[in-house]
Amino acid sequence: GSPRRLLLVSNSTLHGGGYLGHCQEHIKSFLGEKVKRVLFVPYALHDRDAYARTARAKFESLGYGLDSIHESCDPVEAVRKSEAIFIGGGNTFRLLKALYDNSLIQEIRKRVLEDGIPYMGSSAGTNVATISINTTNDMPIVYPPSLQALGLVPFNINPHYLDPDVKSSHMGETREERIHQYHEEPNTPPVLGLREGAMLLVEGDKATLQGVTGARLFLRGKKPTEHEPGTDFSFLLIDSNLQN
């Protein structure tokens, strides 16, 4: 079995609450008491200093120190020394490009999949934890060398998943239609649509849906299915090539 431990959160802020407020109890139980400091990756936003201040204030309020990777003169070394990694939200393309530019893809994979340090992502940070960023909602404002991401799990996630509004007169494509278009391409992995307020906890070969909202699962060639918090999604951790 894999030693990986992941907390993949759909969104950083839930309506009516502050930054990471809706998942702070999950964060505390996930990081536990062994972790003292968290390495924060603010690459998804342009103003990295301001982003680091926001994240630092939150994590310090939970009892954890926070180091932002953009303040390190050697990002690779910062990953090698880290006790836990948190990648925040913003633009997924900007984030992935910076991970490639700083040679961090393989380093983060090794720390998480081989060394077993906890990895937490929210929004864009959840997107890059998966096979690829093909199912992000973001605009391609920059051009990463590849859409392949960290591959900490063998499927894709669509954070901030939105259901079609039956009362809306908007005639554009729904999120469900866009994911269906993705699955029209050959050999595309499952996509888990995480609604705001939902998160996926991965511990080794076990994956569990947590949070206050459900998720919608899209498997290529099958009808989407609805899932409540508490759902066991461990079957998604089996390589999707075997599922097709």
Q: 3-class DSSP state for residue 187?
A: coil
Distance CA 145, CA 161 (A): 26
Q: Catalytic site residue 160?
A: yes
Task: Name the amino acid, one letter, at 242.
Answer: L
244 close to 187: Cβ distance less than 8 angstroms: yes
Query: What is d(CA 243, CA 231) in angstroms, rounded to the nearest whole number?
Result: 19
**Type of residue numbered 140:** P
Whether 89 and 123 have beta carbons less than 8 Å apart is answered as yes
| Active-site residue (options: 10, 82, 123, 240) | 123
Q: Considering 26, 70, 160, 180, which one is annotated as catalytic?
A: 160
Q: Is 123 part of the annotated catalytic residue set?
A: yes
Q: Is residue 103 annotated as a catalytic residue, yes or no?
A: no
Name 11's bridge partners: none
Question: Looking at the annotation, which residues are catalytic?
Answer: 123, 138, 160
